[in-house]
């Protein structure tokens, strides 16, 4: 598989994950409303493993681009990595112990929002 095909597939996956993240974040913010209690309870059972896999996949693809395809990350790519790599450890700890779960969720949301802002700025610079 060439780099262009992989990038296209990853771009489609990224758009899908961003839509899913907006839905999950909206449900998380509305968790105290009774209309959303059922959906939030259903999602809460599965969100940590899904978040761990998605974060790990993003980090793995960043490393594949660098070490297999030989594409050196730019300055802004490094900043995005700074906010995604620690999430793997944090979400892994949350999966292993319930006491880390609330902290991991808060950290992951904050790191993801900051990383998304950097990503949007990076995309704007490229355009």
Tokens of 35: 């209309």
pLDDT confidence bin for 65, thresholds 50/70/90 = confident
pLDDT at residue 82 is higher than 90: yes
Cβ neighbours around 83 below 10 Å, total: 19
pLDDT at residue 95 is higher than 80: yes
51-72: average pLDDT: 86
CB 84 within 8 A of CB 114: no
87-116: average pLDDT: 89
Identify which has the larger pLDDT, 6 or 103: 103
Tokens of 89: 């450890």
pLDDT at 98: 85
Into which CATH architecture does domain 3-126 fall? Up-down Bundle (1.20)
DSSP per-residue string spanning 40-69: HHHHHTTHHHHHHHHHHHHHHHHHHHHHTS
Q: How far is residue 46's CA from residue 34's CA, in Å, rounded to a whole number?
A: 20
96-124: average pLDDT: 89
- In percent, the amount of the chain with pLDDT more than 90 equals 20
User: 97 — alpha (psi -120 to 50), left (phi > 0) or beta?
Assistant: beta
- Domain limits, the chain: 3-126
Tokens of 2: 């060439």
pLDDT at 83: 93
pLDDT at 123: 86
26-52: average pLDDT: 78
């Amino acid at each position: 598989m060439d780099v262009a095909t992989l990038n296209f597939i990853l771009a489609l996956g990224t758009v899908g994950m961003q839509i899913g993240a907006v839905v999950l974040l909206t449900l998380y913010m509305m968790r105290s409303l009774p209309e959303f209690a059922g959906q939030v309870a259903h999602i809460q059972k599965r969100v940590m493993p899904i978040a761990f896999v998605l974060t790990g996949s993003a980090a793995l693809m960043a490393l594949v681009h660098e070490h297999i395809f030989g594409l050196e990350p730019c300055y802004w790519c490094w900043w995005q990595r700074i906010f995604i790599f620690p999430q793997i450890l944090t979400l892994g700890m949350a999966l292993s112990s319930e006491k880390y779960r609330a902290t991991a969720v808060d950290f992951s949301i904050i790191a993801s929002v900051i990383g998304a802002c950097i990503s949007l700025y990076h995309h704007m610079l490229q355009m």
